[in-house]
Amino acid sequence: MTKVLDNDTDNSQAYFYRGLVLSEKLGSHSEGIEDLTTAIELNPDYTEAYFKRGNAYYQLGDKQAAISDYNQVISLQPNSIDAYYNRALSYYQIQEYAQAIADLEKSANIASEQREVGKYQRAINTIIQMQNLSQNIMFIDNNNDLEANHNDENKAK
């Protein structure tokens, strides 16, 4: 790959594949992002490069950057099951639960239309898991609030 880039620095596919190897195979997400960014600069409509860069940002913990790249994928490819799904996971990580569920529903709907049974089931299962986790979080928060109020009342006595 590097030899190709030495001879052809405008080869967006070579940057894409090197970025992919760096990020997904070697776990060098930051270096992978650099090459994926170069691929996007050379080819601004390179949907797969945005998607893979979004995945790399997600792995680095930069959920906002991941969401931005998934948004770009969706603008270029509105029926991308995986972009909606991955954006949902990113929204969930930043506690935007309603948006996460909406994206999972969109992912499931597109998967159903495209007869992608496995991806449909994945989205439905994730919706159920997120709803259960969200309910548990709300329950814990409510119990913590009640405990804090109880402690405050005991201190006042």
**Which of 30, 57, 77 marks a domain boundary?**
77
What pLDDT shows up at residue 10? 85
Looking at the structure, do residues 118 and 100 belong to the same domain, yes or no? yes
Looking at the structure, do residues 106 and 153 belong to the same domain, yes or no? yes
Mean of the per-residue pLDDT values of the chain: 88
Instruction: Please identify which residue in the block is written with the tokens 């989205």.
Output: 123
Distance CA 100, CA 76 (A): 20
Looking at the structure, do residues 91 and 150 belong to the same domain, yes or no? yes
Q: What is the mean pLDDT of residues 115-134?
A: 92
CATH number of the CATH domain containing 71 = 1.25.40.10
Task: For residue 61, count other CB atoms closer than 10 A to its CB.
Answer: 10
Task: For residue 68, count other CB atoms closer than 10 A to its CB.
Answer: 16
Handedness of CA 6, 29, 72, 104 (dihedral sign): positive
Contact, 58 vs 91, CB < 8 A?
no
Looking at the structure, do residues 48 and 4 belong to the same domain, yes or no? yes
Reported as a single tens digit per residue, the pLDDT across 52-111 is 999 999 999 999 999 999 999 999 999 999 999 999 999 999 999 999 999 999 999 999
Looking at the structure, do residues 17 and 52 belong to the same domain, yes or no? yes
Domain count, the chain: 2
Looking at the structure, do residues 9 and 57 belong to the same domain, yes or no? yes
Distance CA 114, CA 50 (A): 22
What pLDDT shows up at residue 60? 97
Contact, 77 vs 47, CB < 8 A?
yes
Looking at the structure, do residues 148 and 83 belong to the same domain, yes or no? yes
The domain of 26 spans 1-77
Looking at the structure, do residues 53 and 108 belong to the same domain, yes or no? no
**Which of 77, 93, 128 marks a domain boundary?**
77
Contact, 44 vs 72, CB < 8 A?
no
Looking at the structure, do residues 113 and 68 belong to the same domain, yes or no? no
